[in-house]
A and B are shown apart, each in its own frame.
Chain A
Amino acid sequence: MRVEMKNLSKHFGRVKAVNDFSVILNDGELVCLLGPSGCGKSTVLNMLSGILPVTGGKIYFDDEDVTDLPPEQRGIGLVFQNYALYPHMTVLGNICFPLEIQGLPKAERIQRATEMAELVHMEGMLHRKPKELSGGQQQRVAIARALVKRPNLLLLDEPLSNLDARLRLEMREEIRRIQLQTKVTTIFVTHDQEEAMSISDHIVLMKDGFLQQHDDPQALYNEPANQFVADFLGNPPINNIKGAIHSGFFVAQNGDKVRLPETDGAPEGVKVHLAIRAESFMMADEGDESCLHCTVENVYQLGKEEMALLNFGDTQVRAYLSFDYGLKAGDEVTLQVRDRGVFLFDLETGRRYA
């Protein structure tokens, strides 16, 4: 099902949780609503499910306006962070419950619930109570319960946040598998960028109730729309170096220069951040005027590579560098930046120039 949100907004008194939010999600996609805590992503989800009435704007499922439809008429499945299983019912009872409300005959209920349990690999535990299950298993049951009535849209509100790291990895792959298998349009709310990057078709990145960027994960990483997007994605975080634009060069505060391939509309003399991904550094060629002089503070061995913690003036910089250089603390190095993974943002507005 295609989901369209048009100029959606939600205000709680004077707090504007969501502002003028417009996004179109395609049928069968898994889309992550990503953003830091309090950015309004759960509010968007709750408006989609009908739990929260909207302050302004419209929601369309396919071409139907569902803005004022009550939750039960929207044909959605919901999964919460705390699973929200009915503690007094067995796994089977929980998965059956939505069908029971629809008034389906018992035999059909059990048959469909069993199929669902198989899909989420819980068929061996149908008669357990929720408290006899691990967190991951409970979440599997919650997903089965949300899917058993064949919803057009599956909404997951931080479904992995209560799980420990290993389970989280496993469950996010499971969610992706189940989603691909059922082809249900899915919206997944998370504050974990890695989670969002790894499983979604598209990511909707939000901040303070505003849409920042809506794109596929790789594009979000490779072409961030603004300073916030660049800062939010990536681990280690992107390196920001303060400076200004002078005749086709970025000039840092200590006078080091970096040649810019394109400066698209960055006016001469404007103060900027040069944002460089950790993997976009390399050793400078000798005599190159475009270079950054750094001191090595520490070197971390990461197995397949090493990460250097460098000081550039009073800015700390993290860079992945080859073992071959044999860097150690205290070394002076001259670095150059690659073409990819380097961006220019306005220091004040965060707007991207290049």
Chain B
Amino acid sequence: MKKQNRTRSLLGTVTYVAGIVLALVGSLTWLFKETGSLPFAVGLVAVAIGLFLNHSYKTKVLSLRGIRYFFLSVGALIMVFPFYWMLVSAFKTSAEMNLFPPSMLPKNWRNFNNFVVAFQTAPFARYFLNSVATCLSSVGITTFTTVLAAFAFSRLKFPGRDVLFSLLLSMMMVPFEMLVITNYTTIVKVGLNDTIWALILPFTSSIFYTYILRNFFVSIPEGLYWSARVDGCTNWRYLWKIMVPIARPSLVTIVLLNAMASWNSFMWPLLVIKKDINRTLPFGLYTFTTEVGANNELLMAASLVVVMPMIILFLFARKQIVSGVSRGGIKG
């Protein structure tokens, strides 16, 4: 490969970088303000001039990278925009909401009025509590049962184990919507409908997570098990002292996916919950939508409250979530 060569100049590099920035800014303002086609065009020309001024190997790599980042940035902006819009709208007044062209930033970031109104209109604090309670308990119990089941299906030897496991796996083929019917009749018969229990009890185990965790457990060498057993370690102790710590990445993924699913669940609460005080956040938000109608700034403030915990969770554990989702193929 040739070394970078003579034709590289500071002027060229500066023009090139400035061109990329200008093109990016220009394209964005063009998208939203309908002015900025000029900076965009100038930017593109600047990129071309910059490339021409120092056409060395290195700039070729740089320019390729630049183009790649340009498209990635545009894609990322498109993905982030709804969240951004929700965030800024939550702080706008209703007058600002109706401006045209819309304003990209609220006039006053300290305008918490929307939150206050939203919390006064509907018992969001209560919804939040319900959500947290169901999420924590169902995730907690599911994780516990999943660990136990995965251990049984991976290490314990009992007659019919593999048949039972295949049977469970085949249950995964049954769509959730089918289970809803039987779950509903069960909950009603037990007399738990319209209580928090109805939100927790049906979600205290998971075949999918058991399957993921079992596969991980199977990959732990059997030598570890026998070393521990020979030393007098019981199955119970081996599970919690050795297997669970080793499987921690998998477990964290399971907990995160499960927490997201539980937090966002909508259909089931909609079916079993009637009373206002038993609603969870997504369901509460839904009813709130119908109540406040066109007051989008209130809706956005409420939505922000609903998604905030998940966004925080995501920020803390995004590596785990990404690797978990790609490992599990599709999330359950």
Chain A contacts to B: CB under 8 angstroms: 49-51, 71-72, 74, 76-78, 80-84, 86-88, 97-98, 101-102, 145-146, 149
Contacts and interface: CB of A to CB of B under 8 A. Distances in A.
Interface stretch (B65-73, B222-230, B300-308): B222-230
Contacts of B246: 86-88
Interface of B: 221, 223-224, 226-233, 237, 241-242, 245-246, 248
A82 B223 contact: yes
Contact of B232 (A80, A87, A88, A101): A101
Contacts of A86: 224, 242, 246
A102 B237 CA distance: 12
Contacts of A146: 227
B245 A88 contact: yes
Contacts, number: 56
A99 B124 CA distance: 53
B230 A76 contact: yes
Contacts of A51: 226, 229-230
Contacts of A87: 246
A102 B223 contact: no
Given A84-B221, A87-B246, A102 B232 contact: yes
A149 to B, nearest CB: 7
A50 B229 CA distance: 10
Contacts of A78: 226-227, 230
Contacts of A74: 230
B223 A71 contact: no
B231 A98 contact: yes
Contact of B231 (A50, A80, A83, A149): A149
B233 A101 contact: yes
Given A86-B242, A88-B246, A101 B237 contact: yes
A77 B232 CA distance: 11
A94 B242 CA distance: 11
A72 B223 contact: no
Contacts of A88: 242, 245-246, 248
A44 to B, nearest CB: 15
B227 A101 contact: no
A71 B224 CA distance: 14
A72 B221 contact: no
A87 B241 CA distance: 12
Contacts of A80: 221, 223, 226-227
Nearest to B220: A87
A323 B223 CA distance: 51
Contacts of B224: 84, 86
Nearest to A87: B246
B229 A71 contact: yes
A321 B237 CA distance: 62
